[in-house]
Chain A
Amino acid sequence: MDLILEGIRKAFYLIFTLDREVLGITLLSLRVSGTATLISLFIGITTGTIVALTRFPGRQLVVSIINTGMGLPPVVVGLFVTIFLWRNGPLGFLEILYTPTAIILAQAVIATPIVTGITLASIQNLPANLRLQILALGATRVQMIWLLVKEARLPLLAAVMAGFGGIISEVGASIMVGGNIKGYSRVLTTATVMETGRGNFDIAIALSIILMLLAFFVNAILTQIQQRERPR
């Protein structure tokens, strides 16, 4: 119990004194997971919308793959991304293993199926005739897709939350592809694991609290938007 109180005390100390290392780790976590979320939104919304709006042979299989992908274990992603990014691996020429970019890549791979799946579901949940109504208003295909995505924006915010929440708290892939390099690719989760290993439980607890606060505030902001948009 003392340990937890000490951890909380330490957390606030580290936060309010703006400890440079902790601040750096926190900002990197935000930057990495934020970028990965953006990438996954870009790919996921596009793919989800296309799959939702088109009929092609094997579509059922694609939907199953997306749904399976929503539960893709981060460690598995970490392993495969590592193998691909090895110097002598297929993507070795990129030279991005053990960099924040590699973490972004792995996290984007984890979040993309989540965003795709939620997009697919929310576009399919729109009224069946809405697509035709938009076309009847004279829209081009691109305008139609844009308007449909706009209509599904509330559930898509849930996709942002699920995607971001999933990857900012992910550790397995980050440590494998990022390497937990001090001041470079160390994010909140990998730092927490390392400090626990070092027996620095107070710092580990402090980092966990920062992580939770971060996840909480990001979700709180998005929830705020969602609630404001919702019809009263």
Chain B
Amino acid sequence: MNSETKAESTLQADGLVNGGDGSGRTLDLAAGIALSSESRQDILLQAEDLLVRRGGVTVLDISALDVFSGQVLALIGPNGAGKSTLLLTLAGLLKPARGNLLLRGERIGNGGFDYRRHIAMVFQEPLLFDTTVFENVAAGLKIRGVGRAEIGLTVPEYLERFGIAHLAKRSARKLSGGEAQRTSLARAFVTKPEIVFLDEPFSSLDPPTREALTNDLERILRETHTTAVASTHDQAEALRLGDRLAVVNGGRIVQIGPAAEVMNRPADEFVASFVGVETVLPGRVVRISDGSFTASVERCEIEAVGHVRMGDEVFCCIRPEHVTLSTNASPPGTSARNVFPGTIRTITPLGLFQRVRVDCGFDLVAYVTRQSLEELSLTEGKSVTASFKATAVHVIRRRE
């Protein structure tokens, strides 16, 4: 039943696109960075004017939100920002006081399980049933009335995909945190949902387990072209998984857009302080030498350290405090491998520091002390040389 619905939905989506500007639905990632391309995406899920109240207090107030087909939307924000509430509302599990959800343009009835059979959700806790791993993964299929024979074929495939085939007969109560979350993910994906909601799925796992799971999730999202909305409070995770980022605070979306854009051009002070990394540069690996590599960014090249392959799409993240500004064209005695001449665009005071935005062909943000600012007599429009070490570049590999 599910596969039929899926086929039908694809047809509908195709029809939508063809009836539109005819640009096709294949998405070039580079183009995806640009704001203008957003309007050309297929919208799978749309939220209009959502309002959620709890105990008379508004906890969620979203005027509009689009989830694009085949993309991952990462929700980031502090604890209590409303990320979980937003996910639950989008998943049809929380009835908003006001507002609509539209799946492929069609309104979703309130509390209908037919909508819930098109989606899946993974929570922070694995929330497994007290039975075997196999039965857990089969749960969604059993709920849909899928026959034993089909379950016997489908479930092992997904156990394999999430690397838990050897645990099939084990009790869910005897799993490690990572194994349990893998089971939860497999249970969500086995129903072939059109959209998966992930509520901080890895935040209670230790770093190595988390890394392995993020890799697998990334791979499976790519393989299955599943649309997803994932919340996280970790920027690196958001950048790895998310095609787009939505920053949530106080129950509102304060900024939404392609990942790099949100990172680089925070809409306000809150987003800037929350995302922390103010320079995020999308690039492509063009050369690899011993231990370090060169990535092309805009028209420049940045040297960084990390394990990458030729042609990998990467984000280069540079923390403002790691950027040194100098008024000399080639600063003497510096060991920095990345040196870029540029022009100061803006200077904003930020507590102990001054936040200086430099245009070096790409936007680079640096923090300098008030003392340095006066010594170098930096002003807006002045030419400077910005430099940072190869080791200061934090590299995040992007989904292909």
Bound state CA distance, A129 and B144, in angstroms? Answer: 21
Which residues between 150 and 204 of chain B lie within 8 Å of chain A, taking CB atoms?
Answer: 171, 173-174, 187-188, 191, 197
Which among A138, A143, A150, A229 has the greatest number of chain B C-beta atoms within 10 A? Answer: A138
B270 close to A (CB within 8 Å): no
Q: Which residues of B contact A132 (CB under 8 A)?
A: 88, 93, 121, 123
Q: Which residues of A contact B120 (CB under 8 A)?
A: 136-137
A130 close to B (CB within 8 Å): yes
A212 close to B (CB within 8 Å): no
Q: Which residues of A contact B140 (CB under 8 A)?
A: 137-138
- Known contacts A132-B88, A151-B130, A231-B173, A138 near B125 by CB under 8 Å: no
Which residues between 178 and 231 of chain A lie within 8 Å of chain B, taking CB atoms?
Answer: 229, 231
Interface size class of B (residues with CB under 8 A): 20 to 34
Cross-chain pair count, CB within 8 angstroms: 56
Residue of A nearest to B84 (CB): A129
> Is the Cβ of B91 less than 8 Å from the Cβ of A136?
yes
CB < 8 Å: which of B116, B144, B173, B174 contacts A135? B116
B117 close to A (CB within 8 Å): yes
B7 close to A (CB within 8 Å): no
CB < 8 Å: which of B113, B121, B123, B130 contacts A139? B113
Residue of B nearest to A230 (CB): B173
Which residues between 12 and 42 of chain A lie within 8 Å of chain B, taking CB atoms?
Answer: none
Which residues between 96 and 134 of chain B lie within 8 Å of chain A, taking CB atoms?
Answer: 113, 116-117, 119-121, 123, 125, 127, 129-130
B259 close to A (CB within 8 Å): no
Bound state CA distance, A143 and B93, in angstroms? Answer: 15
Q: Which residues of B contact A127 (CB under 8 A)?
A: 125, 127
Bound state CA distance, A202 and B123, in angstroms? Answer: 63
CB < 8 Å: which of A140, A231, A232 contacts B113? A140
Residue of B nearest to A136 (CB): B121
> Is the Cβ of B113 less than 8 Å from the Cβ of A136?
no
Q: Which residues of A contact B30 (CB under 8 A)?
A: none
CB distance from B241 to the nearest CB of A (A): 19
CB < 8 Å: which of A129, A137, A143 contacts B125? A129
A157 close to B (CB within 8 Å): no
Residue of A nearest to B116 (CB): A138
> Is the Cβ of B123 less than 8 Å from the Cβ of A133?
yes
Which among A132, A133, A136 has the greatest number of chain B C-beta atoms within 10 A? Answer: A136
B295 close to A (CB within 8 Å): no
Q: Which residues of B contact A43 (CB under 8 A)?
A: none
Residue of B nearest to A130 (CB): B127
Q: Which residues of B contact A140 (CB under 8 A)?
A: 113
CB distance from A144 to the nearest CB of B (A): 9
A63 close to B (CB within 8 Å): no
A147 close to B (CB within 8 Å): yes
> Is the Cβ of B125 less than 8 Å from the Cβ of A136?
no
CB distance from A167 to the nearest CB of B (A): 28
> Is the Cβ of A138 less than 8 Å from the Cβ of B143?
yes
Bound state CA distance, A229 and B132, in angstroms? Answer: 12
> Is the Cβ of A231 less than 8 Å from the Cβ of B116?
no
CB distance from A228 to the nearest CB of B (A): 12
Q: Which residues of A contact B174 (CB under 8 A)?
A: 231-232
- Known contacts A137-B140, A231-B171, A151 near B129 by CB under 8 Å: yes
Give A134-169 as 1s and 0s: 1 = Cβ < 8 Å from B's Cβ atoms. Answer: 011111100100010011011000000000000000
B228 close to A (CB within 8 Å): no
Bound state CA distance, A216 and B181, in angstroms? Answer: 41
> Is the Cβ of A136 less than 8 Å from the Cβ of B116?
yes
B325 close to A (CB within 8 Å): no
B271 close to A (CB within 8 Å): no
Bound state CA distance, A150 and B130, in angstroms? Answer: 9
Bound state CA distance, A156 and B27, in angstroms? Answer: 53
CB distance from B232 to the nearest CB of A (A): 17
B393 close to A (CB within 8 Å): no
Q: Which residues of A contact B144 (CB under 8 A)?
A: 138
> Is the Cβ of A138 less than 8 Å from the Cβ of B129?
no
CB distance from A55 to the nearest CB of B (A): 12
B229 close to A (CB within 8 Å): no
> Is the Cβ of A136 less than 8 Å from the Cβ of B191?
no
B365 close to A (CB within 8 Å): no
B139 close to A (CB within 8 Å): yes
Q: Which residues of B contact A231 (CB under 8 A)?
A: 130, 171, 173-174
Q: Which residues of A contact B171 (CB under 8 A)?
A: 231
Which residues between 294 and 318 of chain B lie within 8 Å of chain A, taking CB atoms?
Answer: none
Which residues between 308 and 359 of chain B lie within 8 Å of chain A, taking CB atoms?
Answer: none
> Is the Cβ of B119 less than 8 Å from the Cβ of A136?
yes
Residue of B nearest to A131 (CB): B93
Q: Which residues of A contact B121 (CB under 8 A)?
A: 132-133, 136
- Known contacts A132-B88, A231-B171, A231-B173, A147 near B129 by CB under 8 Å: yes
Bound state CA distance, A139 and B140, in angstroms? Answer: 8
CB < 8 Å: which of B88, B130, B143, B197 contacts A137? B143
Bound state CA distance, A153 and B131, in angstroms? Answer: 12
Q: Which residues of B contact A137 (CB under 8 A)?
A: 116, 120, 139-140, 143, 187, 191
Which residues of A are at the interface with B, using a C-beta cutoff of 8 A? 127, 129-130, 132-133, 135-140, 143, 147, 150-151, 153-154, 229, 231-232
Query: 5 interchain pairs (CB within 8 A)?
Result: A129-B123, A132-B88, A139-B113, A139-B143, A229-B130
A132-B123, A150-B129 known; 14 new pairs, CB 8 Å cut-off, are A129-B123, A132-B93, A132-B121, A133-B123, A136-B91, A136-B121, A136-B188, A138-B113, A138-B117, A151-B130, A153-B130, A154-B130, A229-B130, A232-B174
